[in-house]
Amino acid sequence: MKLSSIRSEYDGESIESLPADPHVGAELWLEHALKVEAEATAFSLATTGADGRLSVRVVLAKEITSAGVTFYTNGHSLKGLQLDKQPVAAGVFFWPKQHRQIRFEGAVTRTTAAEADEYFASRPHASRVASAVSNQSAPLAHYHELKTRFEKALAEYAGLPVPRPPHWGGYIVAFERVEFWQGQPNRLHQRLHYDLQSDGSYKRTWLEP
């Protein structure tokens, strides 16, 4: 399949007025993305294995704070195991309707158990049951095995609270390096890079597109 003739034109408002704090800028962009994009909170998350190989997958951001971007997952999954050994990650939000991306890299920490409990409890009952029965990223002989496990657990938990599995929880990717990218006409895209300094402030640098 040849794709070389496919071309999109990009444009957007100038990003020169982005704030000094990239967390605030990311919140502003996310607020806007939520109004116009499908799955605005989805971002690609890259982690590394002990052998130095990269893995990437999409997860959903559940919060942006001054600590970074929070997502939730099963700690026994590939990403969970990788993050146990190498607690660093890179992420990228892509918002195609606005011709924007935000990429970020940093250390990964865990939310508290209380925060994970609170978010887990806010999820729909069936999602909680699914998280409780799924051994995320483990081999599965037949898909129907999972369905059967799920249906059985649904019946068992009918009308009952579903406890959060202890290995299921929140992860926060810190904003140590962040870049806002805004598509512009003629491929003269804008790239504003933020580098976390030891005093907690960010050094900002424009990068060539």
The binder of ligand FMN chosen from 20, 24, 36, 57 (CB under 6 A): 57
Per CB under 6 A, 58 contacts ligand FMN: yes
Residue range at the interface with ligand FMN (CB under 6 A); choices 77-85, 103-111, 141-149, 169-177:
77-85
Burial of 116 from C-beta contacts in 10 A (0-12 / 13-18 / 19+): buried
Cα–Cα distance measured from residue 148 to residue 144, given in angstroms and rounded to the nearest whole number: 6
Q: Tell me the number of residues near ligand FMN by CB under 6 A.
A: 15
- 36 near ligand FMN, rule: CB under 6 A: no
Which is closer to ligand FMN, CB of 129 or CB of 192?
A: 129
Question: CB within 8 A of 204, min separation 6: which ones?
Answer: 20, 192, 193, 194, 195
Q: Which listed residue (29, 43, 71, 181) binds ligand FMN by CB under 6 A?
A: 71
E strand segments, the chain: 42-48, 54-65, 68-74, 88-95, 100-110, 168-173, 177-182, 190-196, 202-207
Query: Tokens representing 99?
Result: 């011709």
Cβ 157 to ligand FMN shortest distance, Å:
20
Instruction: Pick out residues in 116-155 that bind ligand FMN (CB under 6 A).
Output: 136-137
Cβ 15 to ligand FMN, closest distance in Å? Answer: 26
